[in-house]
Amino acid sequence: MPETKTQPETALLLKALRRNNSLLGELAVRYEVSLKPARGGGPSPTVDSPGDVHALVGGEMGALAQEQLRVLLLDARNRVTGVRVIYQGNANASSVRAAEVLRPAVVEAVPKVIAVHNHPSGDPDPSPEDVRITRDLAAAAKLLGIDLLDHVIIGGGRFVSLKDRGLMP
């Protein structure tokens, strides 16, 4: 007969898993661990629409229990040269600084980026904070000569493009 855990044991286990997940996210950011697209000898994926962004990272990001912000690094032809985890937040929030979001693009000298984050709630509708952060990112990117092509929010198997909604400058 399988052993069942009591409520306190389950709560402690969940707390430990959440702490571990948070620590792994911090380490990924600190040591610039990248999530590179698969390189099966073929060309890098090209991102031409919010649907392409969702196809690339939506399955993985939609399953996350914590909010996470990533930046897709793109070359001049919109080919993905890298995907970087920038922030790992909690169940409903993530703190974002434009400098840290754009840093990988500056370091790797890519001309274009797309910001993408998830809403663990399953509702991909942008919050007022999402809109504010997107406008800050767009202004900072413009100063650096980087094109912020879009900010895509993933949730519940769906996605929302802030560009398509007219919420980007």
- What's the rounded Cα separation, in Å, for the pair 91 and 89? 7
The proportion of the chain whose per-residue pLDDT surpasses 90, expressed as a percent, equals 64
Residue 1 is predicted with a pLDDT of 47
pTM: 0.75
The yes-or-no verdict on residue 140 having pLDDT over 70 is yes
Q: What is the pLDDT of residues 15-69, one digit of tens each?
A: 776 766 666 666 665 655 555 444 455 678 999 999 999 999 999 999 998 899 9
pLDDT higher at 77 or 92: 77
Beta-bridged to residue 88, according to DSSP, are: 68
Residue 25 is predicted with a pLDDT of 62
State the sign of the Cα–Cα–Cα–Cα dihedral 52, 31, 42, 141: positive
Residue 2 is predicted with a pLDDT of 53
Window from 21-25, 52-56, 118-122, 130-134 with minimum mean pLDDT? 21-25
Residue 12 is predicted with a pLDDT of 77
